[in-house]
Structure 1
Amino acid sequence: MAEPNYMLNIVGVFGFPVAENPTGVMQNAAFQVLGLNWLYLNFEVEAEHLGNAVLGMRAMNNFRGVNLTIPHKVAVLQYLDEIAPSAQVIGAVNTVRREGDRLIGENTDGKGFMRALGDDADIDAAGTHAVVLGAGGAARAIAVELALAGARHITIVNRSRERGETLVRLLAEKTPAQAAFVPWQGTYRVPEGTDLLINATSIGLFPNVEDAPDIDYDSITPGMIVCDVIPNPPNTPFLRRAAERGAITLDGLGMLVYQGAIAFKMWTGQEPSVEVMRRALAAEFGG
């Protein structure tokens, strides 16, 4: 008879606020299906207490890892023992995994997008021309991962010139990809020859579910890969309009699930069921 083990392995998210973060829904569903004695919890950590929270994590051997959300993705860097190469380029960490007594920072934001691109659309980013709408954290992570995967050219379209040009400089200095900034003034027309169009803004996120990026949708061509980072609702007006014009679409729910699946394996060493994770999140979102 096996010895009883009443110790849970803990993972979770540090952020402020975190009450509406649904990540635990999909992670706990995946733990349950595999019969793992693990639990994902939301931890409300204000900015001035992040260092103490990381120290607390270090002190508990069964605290196996953590996600970081606003406002901690950059501030956490100083408390870690190692930063993965792509996270170094991005300049932000959203996942911490534990190796013995060492805490290693990763960024799965862009990795989830890349896995959706490969697994769901069977697309290799190498040699592609991509247009990214936005220049915030999600845009930064996706653009870096695209560049590291061999994208030939990346256009950053953003209303803030400073933020857009900063991202383009980062890509030029840290990756082999060519990059250009285009100010988002009025309705943006997607240039001919674009392979990938990505909405990396929050336009269309619940509760503003009828909003869509201000682009010329007739400039979307059949066969173009059009992606939206918005997980709720998954089928955004942006994606619906693109599909009407013959585009292949990828939704943000899939990207969020793949981010979670990558973190799950980093923490547990096991592959989760992405189908179970997606169903759990879709049910939570009412889909």
Structure 2
Amino acid sequence: MRLFGLLGYPVGHSASPAMMNAAFQADGEAAVYVPFAVDPEHIREAFTGLAALGAVGVNVTVPHKVAAFDWTDVHTPEAQRIGAVNTIRFSTEGAIGHNTDVSGWWRSIEQQVTGTSPSFAVIGAGGAAMAILAAIATHRKDSVVRVIARREAAVAQLQERFEASLSIEYRPWEKRHEVVSESDVIVQTTPIGMWPNTADSPIEDPSVFQKGMVVQDIVYRPRETRFAKVAKAGGAKVVDGAGMLVYQGVDAYEWWLDHAAPVDVMFQAVNAHLQQEQLDHE
């Protein structure tokens, strides 16, 4: 039985174990995917212990992605580009750090993004925003990208990281309605609206949105956030955040096992997990 897992703090809410174990079963893989809640003080020992146990690979979620980058011996170009690791493969040559958040986000939205240089508004300037900017730099590098954040310093760090590949403009939080109304693709990357604070949204006015816009909230708990409902009421095309979760898992699965993942099975498992979670909260 080959061991895979997820390291985070906390991890009890994650749909990844249900998704990955369903994929292993569908493919007839003798493997198990286990969630590990690891305090940040002990994350390096956890990585070392899993390597010693013969684990094949793990996913890494908040708050450990930078620590995973620092711990791993070798980095793929995707991980190197954003300085964070969300997927590790243990090998005889050492631990290899990869990042599937970049490709996972792009695969979740690419069918909706038309044109070679649409204008993007990214709400938030944290780690998720960094992965999204890396994807835009790869696939739509000539686009106008405005990052809406409370702290200009956080956006300045993003501008410095991507200065050679993407033009990023800072916009203050107070201007978010104006910036969103002028954008083609809007991606909400903050935790605003996540359970249990489901009544919250960074935008409350549906008139900010209009037909032709593509709007995504990468929060997927709840499946339809307040932000998504407001955007839909304004006529925008709304893409939920579950697709990013699934596709980053698909890419990790294929990177570990070197064969195609059962994508439909993984979507079904995530849908079932989130539906049950919603029932549990009602």
What's the TM-score once normalised by structure 2's chain length? 0.89
Report the Cα offset of residue 73 of structure 1.
Answer: 0.8
Deviations 1:42-70 (A, max 9, x none): 12322232222222233233x11111122
* Cross-structure match for 1:235: 224
CA distance in 1, matches of 2:89, 2:176: 42
Partners of 2:203 and 2:230 within 8 A in 1: no
* Cross-structure match for 1:9: 2
Letter in 2 for 1:66: V
Report the Cα offset of residue 273 of structure 1.
Answer: 2.3
CA distance in 1, matches of 2:76, 2:236: 34
* Cross-structure match for 2:129: 139
**Pairing of 1:19-98 with structure 2 (within 5 A):** 19-61=12-54, 63-98=55-90
**Pairing of 1:1-287 with structure 2 (within 5 A):** 8-61=1-54, 63-118=55-110, 121-123=111-113, 126-151=116-141, 152-172=143-163, 174-175=164-165, 177-185=166-174, 188-190=177-179, 194-214=183-203, 216-286=205-275
Report the Cα offset of residue 198 of structure 1.
Answer: 0.4
Deviations 1:252-275 (A, max 9, x none): 011111111111111112222222
CA distance in 2, matches of 1:186, 1:153: 16
Report the Cα offset of residue 216 of structure 1.
Answer: 4.7
Change beyond 3 A, Cα 1:125–1:114:
farther
The alignment of Structure 1 onto Structure 2 pairs a total of residues equal to: 275
Deviations 1:93-149 (A, max 9, x none): 11112344332111222321100112xx35367422111000111111111211122
User: Structure 1: any 5+ residue segments left out of the alignment?
Assistant: 1-7
Letter in 2 for 1:226: V
Partner SS for 2:177: coil
Letter in 1 for 2:67: A
Change beyond 3 A, Cα 1:167–1:125:
farther
Partners of 1:27 and 1:277 within 8 A in 2: yes
CA distance in 2, matches of 1:12, 1:195: 37
CA distance in 2, matches of 1:202, 1:254: 17
Deviations 1:191-246 (A, max 9, x none): 56522100011111112222211365323231111111011122222222222333
Change beyond 3 A, Cα 1:210–1:274:
farther
CA distance in 2, matches of 1:260, 1:40: 12
Deviations 1:148-171 (A, max 9, x none): 223322100011222122222322
What's the TM-score once normalised by structure 1's chain length? 0.88
CA distance in 2, matches of 1:160, 1:241: 25
CA distance in 2, matches of 1:267, 1:125: 33
Partner SS for 1:231: coil
Partners of 2:8 and 2:60 within 8 A in 1: yes
Letter in 1 for 2:99: N
CA distance in 1, matches of 2:254, 2:116: 25
CA distance in 2, matches of 1:201, 1:146: 18
User: Structure 2: any 5+ residue segments left out of the alignment?
Assistant: none
CA distance in 2, matches of 1:146, 1:234: 24
CA distance in 1, matches of 2:230, 2:239: 13
CA distance in 1, matches of 2:230, 2:260: 34
Q: Which has the higher helix share?
A: 2
Structure 1 vs Structure 2: percent identity of aligned residues? 35
